[in-house]
């Protein structure tokens, strides 16, 4: 604080008179100034008012002493903490146990702790002295909690607030404790506190917002949405509530309602950075890249160093083929090094990978896609680190070449510039891609991915038909028969180009060392209090499987407790109910893992490792329920041997089908396709995107066999998880056939232009994904 001189009034013998600055002389330049234009007379008048209105704590019987104490609190109220400390110290010289002076000095030190952490220790010392002298005053515990929480001493702060609530519950105290519980990620307890606060005082929009956020962070999005709406009833212009509502709808996968909520937030404040950032990110993941860029540009005008907006702007430009602008934005993020001891943002960790991959894409813009291979071209350690989202610390890494001036950016393509046949191809791709959209909470429709995977489906169909007609294909610069991986690579190629942010890489082509350790594909279903809503539909089937395995385990190793375990399992209806059963055996006390098995078709009776279910924890709200697949070399070879055998059989049956009209042949081909993909999904051979890649191959191969998929994936169902949680390929085939509503393929499909010839280059692939067809294609039903 600046140094202030106090004018000497002739009003009373007050300790404030001792607060003059010894370095400030009469007639100095600049002249001595009164505190914030508060001369001593005004201070004394305010102090008298404080005394009359009992606006300061721990008053005493002596009126003069009360006035002196009130002066200290007036100084605090005006931000003059140093002067307040001096003032209270003078009073304490006369009476070392004057509680109000100790308390006031503690508050003043607390206010100064924001500038210097040493003051926090002094504040805590003073407040602890007050508690020792006056242990039943709730405001002192609350004051101490306010000092403790910024120091990261949350459990101590919570203990103080709990004591304050025991002494005198209030809406404010419950809200304060709820906020700290929220920061500690104890969302259930936080929700209860916000609820208590709201019961004591209804009109609290902020408490209502936080109550909604406790649901949001637990994955209970529908409940969060209802509470955010309640907050808006309390305060109709509550920007943060509209922003949170938009975010909840976005996480739910409801694009229209999310857009409307973000729009309302921005109508209230067009410069609301978080709303611009979140809306831009949602537009990117919806496939509306040009609109997304507009949001990120506006965000950066308001906050030039916003890393998220800068990263997303760079990503959006690169995805659209605007590499110069994209790499410029990425470089700005790279230059924003974290400070010493500061945790690097996820954007900072990812940006080097994105920039290198962007440069690689740019140098291959005009190379035919069949002449190069991303998995072989990118260095092994680069792929390994990128797929695992590790910091970019790669020894002897040789950077990709910088942008070549002769390779121009991708230019906007008008739908009308394509021939009528290609226009029909694009519209068909849009319709087919939409059939792959999950009707499940948590999945936002991405129109760009729809088109990419629709084109992949048609290209798979065309490639399979050529193969079954004994034609060869061109792959990686060579002309040969189409192999099973080439079929999937068609879909991988389109999935990659739709979103360059996500590394869609074959795990088996990673460096041998990292593969020998295993690549874990890990999904948390419940972590602590957070529920992964995407997989809710599968909780019961996984639970049934776990219960079966527990009985088998106890039957083998714990016969004495088997009957007791059986009875206990009858009452298990949700995952949390398993926690007490874990205590029946010392080996499972801290948790257990259960492995699923996948039967072999090639070698009947043989089984492979499927996925691993892990359950750990000691109580509700502190448990982990997760599944993971581990891609090791041995496991990969086992699954690939199944896929190769099925593909060989599929090729032979496909060739027969091209010459036959027997209905049974088409059904055999369908079962082979679905069995092959069953093993692909259980293997999880890609770092990202295995599910949509697999489903587009299923649709394309079925179309090659003369069948069109018209059905949508049922609500709550996920294609890859269905394969992983189904006990055999036959049962999986039966389930998926009940979804897809197969009909004979219309003959006009055979007249569609060749996808691989129409979009031979990375450039032409990006062009077609950028093209707006909204006013040209028939509306999807």
* pLDDT-based confidence at residue 661 (cuts at 50, 70, 90): low
Q: Would the pLDDT of 202 be above 90?
A: yes
Q: Which tens digits make up the pLDDT trace of 576-592?
A: 888 887 766 666 667 78
- SS3 category, 630: strand
Q: Which tens digits make up the pLDDT trace of 71-106?
A: 999 999 888 999 999 999 999 999 999 999 999 999
Nearest to 333 by CA among 297, 361, 362, 308: 308
What average pLDDT does the segment 145-166 reach?
Answer: 95
- pLDDT attached to residue 32: 43
- pLDDT attached to residue 584: 66
∠ Cα 599 600 606 (to 5°): 80
What are the sequence ranges of the domains in the chain?
271-409, 421-513+634-671+688-714+742-770, 519-631
Q: Which architecture does CATH list for 271-409?
A: Alpha Horseshoe (1.25)
The reported pTM is 0.88
- pLDDT attached to residue 196: 98
Of 93-107, 413-427, 461-475, the one with minimum mean pLDDT is 461-475
Whether the Cβ atoms of residue 9 and residue 40 lie closer than 8 Å to each other: yes
What average pLDDT does the segment 423-442 reach?
Answer: 96
Rounded CA gap, 68 and 71, in Å? Answer: 5
- pLDDT attached to residue 339: 80
Q: Which tens digits make up the pLDDT trace of 139-154?
A: 999 999 999 999 999 9
Rounded CA gap, 233 and 220, in Å? Answer: 21
Percentage of the chain modeled with pLDDT above 70: 92
Whether the Cβ atoms of residue 240 and residue 264 lie closer than 8 Å to each other: no
Place of tokens 């492995």: 595
- pLDDT attached to residue 16: 32
**Ramachandran area for residue 78 (φ above 0: left; ψ -120 to 50: alpha; else beta):** alpha
What average pLDDT does the segment 260-285 reach?
Answer: 98
What average pLDDT does the segment 628-652 reach?
Answer: 94
* pLDDT-based confidence at residue 315 (cuts at 50, 70, 90): very high
Q: Would the pLDDT of 121 be above 90?
A: yes
Of 14-23, 346-355, 715-724, the one with minimum mean pLDDT is 14-23
* pLDDT-based confidence at residue 780 (cuts at 50, 70, 90): low
Q: Which tens digits make up the pLDDT trace of 763-777?
A: 999 999 999 998 999
**Average pLDDT taken over every residue of the chain:** 89
What average pLDDT does the segment 388-417 reach?
Answer: 92
* pLDDT-based confidence at residue 44 (cuts at 50, 70, 90): confident
Token pair recorded at residue 36: 């914030």
Q: Would the pLDDT of 662 be above 70?
A: no
Q: How many CB atoms lie within 10 A of CB 22?
A: 7
Q: Would the pLDDT of 15 be above 50?
A: no
Whether the Cβ atoms of residue 37 and residue 15 lie closer than 8 Å to each other: no
- pLDDT attached to residue 343: 85
Q: Which tens digits make up the pLDDT trace of 330-372?
A: 999 999 888 877 888 899 999 999 999 999 999 999 999 999 9
- Alpha carbons within 13 angstroms on the beta-carbon side of residue 543 total 19
* pLDDT-based confidence at residue 513 (cuts at 50, 70, 90): confident
b vs e for 310-345, b when ≥16 Cβ sit within 10 Å of the residue's Cβ?
Answer: bbbbbbbbbbbbbbebbbebbebbbebeeeeeeeee
What average pLDDT does the segment 41-53 reach?
Answer: 83
- SS3 category, 651: helix
- SS3 category, 619: strand
* pLDDT-based confidence at residue 37 (cuts at 50, 70, 90): very low
Percentage of the chain modeled with pLDDT above 90: 71
């Amino acid at each position: 604080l600046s140094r202030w001189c106090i004018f000497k009034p002739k009003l009373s013998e007050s300790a404030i008179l001792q607060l003059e600055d010894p370095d400030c002389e009469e007639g100095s330049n600049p002249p001595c100034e009164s505190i914030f234009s508060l001369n001593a007379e005004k201070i004394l008048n305010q102090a008298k008012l404080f005394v009359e209105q009992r606006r300061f704590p721990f008053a005493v019987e002596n009126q003069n002493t009360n006035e002196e104490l009130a002066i200290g609190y007036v100084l605090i109220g005006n931000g003059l903490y140093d002067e307040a400390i001096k003032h209270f110290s003078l009073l304490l010289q006369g009476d070392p146990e004057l509680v109000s002076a100790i308390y006031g000095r503690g508050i003043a030190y607390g206010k100064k702790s924001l500038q210097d952490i040493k003051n926090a220790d002094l504040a805590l010392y003073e407040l602890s002295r007050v508690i020792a002298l006056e242990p039943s005053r709730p405001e002192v515990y609350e004051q101490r909690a306010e000092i403790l929480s910024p120091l990261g001493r949350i459990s101590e702060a919570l203990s103080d607030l709990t004591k304050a609530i025991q002494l005198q519950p209030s809406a404010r105290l419950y809200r304060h404790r709820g906020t700290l519980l929220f920061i500690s990620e104890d969302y259930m307890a936080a929700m209860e506190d916000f609820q208590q606060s709201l019961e004591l005082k209804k009109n609290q929009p902020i408490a209502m917002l936080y109550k909604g956020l406790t649901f949001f962070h637990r994955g209970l999005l529908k409940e969060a949405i209802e509470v955010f709406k309640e907050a808006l009833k309390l305060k109709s212009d509550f920007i943060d509530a509209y922003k949170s509502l938009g975010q909840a709808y976005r996480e739910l996968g409801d694009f229209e309602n999310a857009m409307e909520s973000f729009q309302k937030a921005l109508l209230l404040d067009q410069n609301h950075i978080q709303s611009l950032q979140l809306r831009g990110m949602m537009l990117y993941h919806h496939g509306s890249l040009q609109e997304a860029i507009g949001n990120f540009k506006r965000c950066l005008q308001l906050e030039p160093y916003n890393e998220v907006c800068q990263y997303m702007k760079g990503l959006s430009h690169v995805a659209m083929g605007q590499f110069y602008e994209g790499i410029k934005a990425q470089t700005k993020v790279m230059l924003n090094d974290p400070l010493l001891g500061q945790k690097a943002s996820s954007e900072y960790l990812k940006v080097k990978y994105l920039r290198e991959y962007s440069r690689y894409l740019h140098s291959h813009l005009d190379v035919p896609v069949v002449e190069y291979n991303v998995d072989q071209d990118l260095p092994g350690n680069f792929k390994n680190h990128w797929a695992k989202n590790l910091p970019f610390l790669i020894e002897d890494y040789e950077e990709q070449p910088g942008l070549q001036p002769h390779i121009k950016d991708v230019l906007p393509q008008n739908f009308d510039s394509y021939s009528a046949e290609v226009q029909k191809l694009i519209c068909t791709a849009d319709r087919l891609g939409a059939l792959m959209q999950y009707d499940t909470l948590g999945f936002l429709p991405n129109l760009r991915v729809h088109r990419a995977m629709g084109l992949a489906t048609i290209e798979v169909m065309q490639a399979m038909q050529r193969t079954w007609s004994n034609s060869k294909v061109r792959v990686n610069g060579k002309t040969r028969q189409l192999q099973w991986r080439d079929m999937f690579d068609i879909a991988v190629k389109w999935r990659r180009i739709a979103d360059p942010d996500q590394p869609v890489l074959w795990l088996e082509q990673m460096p041998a060392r990292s593969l020998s350790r295993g690549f874990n594909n890990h999904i948390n279903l419940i972590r602590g209090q957070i529920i992964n809503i995407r997989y809710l539909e599968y909780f019961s089937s996984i639970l049934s499987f776990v219960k079966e395995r527990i009985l088998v385990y106890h039957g083998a190793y714990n016969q004495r407790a088997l009957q007791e375990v059986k009875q206990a399992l009858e009452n298990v209806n949700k995952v949390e109910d398993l926690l007490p059963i874990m205590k029946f055996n010392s080996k499972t006390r801290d948790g257990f893992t259960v492995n699923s098995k996948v039967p072999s078709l090639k070698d009947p009776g043989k089984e492979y490792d499927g996925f691993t279910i892990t359950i750990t924890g000691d109580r509700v709200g502190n448990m982990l329920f997760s599944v993971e697949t581990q891609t090791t070399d041995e496991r990969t070879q086992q699954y690939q041997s199944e896929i190769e055998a099925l593909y060989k059989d599929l090729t032979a049956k496909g060739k027969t089908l091209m010459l036959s009209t027997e209905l049974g042949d088409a059904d055999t081909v369908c079962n082979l396709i679905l069995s092959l993909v069953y093993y692909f999904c259980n293997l999880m051979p890609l770092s990202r995107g295995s599910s949509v890649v697999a489903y587009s191959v299923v649709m394309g191969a079925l179309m090659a066999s003369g069948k069109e998929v018209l059905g949508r994936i049922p609500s709550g169902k996920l294609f890859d998880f269905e394969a992983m949680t189904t006990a055999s390929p036959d049962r999986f085939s039966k389930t998926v056939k009940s979804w897809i509503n197969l009909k004979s393929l219309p003959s006009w499909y055979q007249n569609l232009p060749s996808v691989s010839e129409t979009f031979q280059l990375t450039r032409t692939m990006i062009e077609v994904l950028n093209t707006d067809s909204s006013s040209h294609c028939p509306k999807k039903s």
